[in-house]
Amino acid sequence: MLTPDLTAGLGGAFQMWVTFALILAVLVLYAMDKIPVEVTSSGILAALLVFFHLAPVLDGFGGNRLDAGRLLSGFANPALITVIALLVVGQGMVRTGVLEQGARRLLELAGGRARLTLGICLTGALLISGVLNNIPVVVIFIPIMQTLAERLGVAASRVMMSLSFVAVLGGSATLIGSGSNLLVSGALLQAGETPFGFFDFTGPGLIVAGVGLAYALLVLPWVLPERESLASRIMARSGKYFLAQIAIESETGLEGAGIVGAYSKALPDMRVRMVLRAERVVMPPFHDFQLRLGDVVVVAASRRALSRATADSPGLLHPGAQELGGGMEDVWQAEERTLAEVMVVPGSRLIGRRLTMAGFQWRTRCVVLGIQRRTQMFRSRLTDVPLEAGDVLLVEGRPNSVEQLRTDSDVILMEWSTEELPLVRRAKQAVLLFTAVVLLAATGVLPIVVAGVVGALGMLVSGVLNVREAARAIDTKIVIMIPATLALGAALQETGGAAYLAHAFLVPLQGVGTMAAVSGLFLAGAILAHVIGSNAVAVLFTPIAVGMGRELGIDPHVLAVVVVFAANAGLATPIGYQTNLLVMGPGHYRFSDFLRAGGPLVVLLWITVTLVVPWWYGL
């Protein structure tokens, strides 16, 4: 076993090579994806703690520069705290249904065209990333992209990585778009050069970002896997259609709504099976048919469509509300409502009884929204249909009422089917808090970490989220992986490994021509950004770029711009840039997905920077 005494005389060389070995090991484990990311990240943290305790990197006063406090400091890193806080703020926007409404309007604006809708959203993320740090931009857009993917009927894995890529590249267009941009500017000042102005590299930055946007729209959808969470796969596989009943009353706002064929714009994603008008049953196809007060409409719709309808209009889909009389309004008027599916079991007391006469809704305090029966088409009101064994009921109730269905002997609660409906009554509070966070951070009144923490606390205090919902918004991969990669970066810095790699890459570039210098500098920085991180590349490569510029007679600021683009090109691994880590969970990605999708983009950016930078600056 190595001890501090045995290794102290080796300087930093021994520790540096061990650090290289640990980095290689963790990259292999991430890529193999055989061990959960959380386990691998925890393991590398443990290995670093043990090794640098036994083989310390000593400072001039006999202290260990890589002690436990330094290696674990990533857990208190402002970037990590910011990400966690903004995830909670974003969850508040999702919980209140604000983003669902926004996504719906965006779809309407784009005429339902998937590529145009995604193009608008990604372009917005790209432009906003130029004036806001790209990490909170990605956090803000993640729930929007999730909602859009659901509305467009595509897996979230098809769009999430595109969001990260365009946000990173959009952040390359202005001084404040990325933290690494500011580090390059600061390093220029330390090297005796004037720092960057706000728009000094906006021109070539927008060209580079435009290339990335085109790649994200035209190539990534075909390269990225179609991968969904287990819950999503179950829900999709259970994509049965429920029959639901809508009573046309003045409160519904459906009076006068037209039906053509079997569809109505007022009832999106629903197929009208029949309209009961007085004693008459009207069947499709309908021709210029308009709904009247007192009509009862029986529709067939997916669970998602019914969920959206009852979230937007509580009380709309409650068959038998009139027959039940007063006393059940508190169910659909409650702030917190849960949707679930239950199956009528053989021997149930509900069999053979009509919905309004069975007493199920009164007894359980859960309102039945729809019924699914595979082999029968109803020709009457749902409330007049006798229930049968095997019927699946879509029910709505307070969370505790739905939870109590587990012990009901008449039905079986399908555990995977529970879903919280949006807390629409808290939407204004969520929007105000979200807007306040963005404005405070964008104007510099508060640092973004402070604004994020205050916003997250506001979501809890205002009742938009409870503690359980806030905790559920936090991805454990982020909580463990970011501190682990920061610890590896610290080890590289303190052992001299980062400087060693930088010089090893750049030594062959001494004395080369202008285009070769630009090309080689970008490629070296982009490769190392995947290992040591964008901030380390910014700090290490800027002095080297200044020296190269002076030696070649090139304005050092031009090569510093190349360093900006290289530092933001760590797109081929999830640990290359923090926004990649952010989308890894929501997109259900594996380590290899980033290599497959981001690798070609890095090559494309290399070619673009090699051609654009010399042309733009007239070299």
Q: Tell me, what's the pLDDT at 595?
A: 87
Phi-psi region of 558 (alpha: psi -120 to 50; beta: other; left: phi over 0): alpha
As a whole number of angstroms, the distance between CA 574 and CA 336 comes to 36
Q: Is residue 191 part of a domain?
A: no
Q: Tell me, what's the pLDDT at 113?
A: 67
With a CB cutoff of 8 Å and minimum separation 6, the contacts of 618 are: none
Strand stretches in 390-478, DSSP E: 392-397, 411-413, 419-420
Domain co-membership, 94 together with 159: yes
Domain co-membership, 134 together with 217: yes
Q: Is residue 152 part of a domain?
A: yes
pLDDT at residue 225 greater than cutoff 50: yes
Q: Tell me, what's the pLDDT at 331?
A: 67
pLDDT at residue 239 greater than cutoff 60: no
Rounded mean pLDDT, 240-263: 82
| Contact status, residue 99 vs residue 143, Cβ threshold 8 Å | yes
Strand stretches in 398-537, DSSP E: 411-413, 419-420
Q: Is residue 237 part of a domain?
A: no
As a whole number of angstroms, the distance between CA 47 and CA 40 comes to 10
Rounded mean pLDDT, 375-389: 73
Q: Tell me, what's the pLDDT at 614?
A: 92
Domain co-membership, 258 together with 227: no
As a whole number of angstroms, the distance between CA 145 and CA 81 comes to 22
As a whole number of angstroms, the distance between CA 205 and CA 399 comes to 50
- DSSP lists the bridge partners of residue 351 as 387
Give the total number of structural domains in the chain: 2
Domain co-membership, 109 together with 211: yes
- Of 99-113, 317-331, 496-510, 566-580, the range with the lowest mean pLDDT is 317-331
| Contact status, residue 22 vs residue 48, Cβ threshold 8 Å | yes
pLDDT at residue 469 greater than cutoff 60: yes
Full domain range(s) for residue 258:
249-294
Domain co-membership, 89 together with 214: yes
Q: Tell me, what's the pLDDT at 19?
A: 87
As a whole number of angstroms, the distance between CA 463 and CA 4 comes to 53
Question: Higher-confidence residue: 11 or 264?
Answer: 264
Question: Higher-confidence residue: 135 or 224?
Answer: 224
Q: Is residue 38 part of a domain?
A: no
pLDDT at residue 373 greater than cutoff 70: yes
The per-residue pLDDT of the chain, averaged, comes to 79
| Contact status, residue 208 vs residue 608, Cβ threshold 8 Å | yes
pLDDT band, very low/low/confident/very high, at 8 (cuts 50, 70, 90): very low
Domain co-membership, 227 together with 261: no
Rounded mean pLDDT, 489-494: 77
| Contact status, residue 307 vs residue 242, Cβ threshold 8 Å | no
Supply the DSSP symbol for 395: E
Domain co-membership, 114 together with 226: yes
Percentages (nearest 5) of helix, strand, coil residues in the chain: 60, 10, 30
Q: Is residue 492 part of a domain?
A: no
Among the listed residues 169, 145, 172, 163, the one whose alpha carbon sits nearest the alpha carbon of residue 217: 163
Q: Is residue 142 part of a domain?
A: yes
Domain co-membership, 228 together with 262: no
Question: Higher-confidence residue: 398 or 230?
Answer: 398
Q: Tell me, what's the pLDDT at 585?
A: 73
Q: Is residue 355 part of a domain?
A: no
Domain co-membership, 217 together with 88: yes
Q: Is residue 368 part of a domain?
A: no
Neighbours of 220 (CB within 10 A): 22
Q: 99-108, 232-241, 609-618 — which one is most confidently predicted on average?
A: 609-618
Strand stretches in 312-403, DSSP E: 338-344, 366-372, 392-397
Domain co-membership, 90 together with 222: yes
pLDDT band, very low/low/confident/very high, at 573 (cuts 50, 70, 90): confident
Domain co-membership, 133 together with 257: no
- Residue range 422-445, pLDDT digits in tens: 777 788 888 898 888 877 876 778
Q: Which of 240, 267, 294 is the last residue of a domain?
A: 294
Q: 270-284, 309-323, 365-379 — which one is most confidently predicted on average?
A: 270-284
Domain co-membership, 258 together with 160: no
pLDDT band, very low/low/confident/very high, at 107 (cuts 50, 70, 90): low
